[in-house]
Amino acid sequence: MEDFLYCTTLAGEAAKLISVLGVSRPEIANPVVWQQAAEDCVLARMKSLRLIGGLPRHKAPLSKDERIDRLHMLLQLWSDGCTCAVDEDLFADILNRRKMNSSTAPAT
């Protein structure tokens, strides 16, 4: 039951992010905030999945436009109910960028 409720919540959150972005990807009012929220949504979903063998982290980095396009496509799938869809390249890109950013952040 919990997984069903989580998937319903995930689909709802993905739908909210898609509605902000719009159908044909117009200019986003604040693309950095949207991308951060979309990436957080992806990371939360990936954390809840039971993946066998893990995901590859050796993938090449995505360009900014490709990352936004892939986020949009994945969130669209999730909002349409395909909550088990995974984009390995996107996930590896997010993990690698977040890891790189956390390792270069100054200690406080």
Pair 93, 62: CB distance under 8 Å: yes
| Region of residue 54 (left: phi > 0; alpha: psi -120 to 50; beta: else) | left
Whether 62 contacts 90, CB under 8 Å:
yes
Condensed to tens digits (0 to 9), the pLDDT of residues 35-94 reads: 888 888 888 888 877 766 666 667 889 999 999 999 989 988 988 888 888 898 998 899
Residue linked to tokens 């890891």: 99
Q: What is the predicted pLDDT for the residue at 52? A: 62
Encoded tokens for 90: 């996107």
Instruction: At 61, list the tokens.
Output: 């980095």
Query: Among all chains, which residue has been given the structure tokens 């690698």?
Result: 96
Cα distances (Å, whole numbers) of residue 64 to 14, 20, 22, 50, 88: 20, 18, 18, 28, 16
Which residues are CB-neighbours of 35 under 8 A, at least 6 positions away? 67, 68, 71
Q: What is the pLDDT of residue 64?
A: 92
pLDDT recorded at residue 25: 47
Q: Looking at residue 55, what is its pLDDT? A: 64
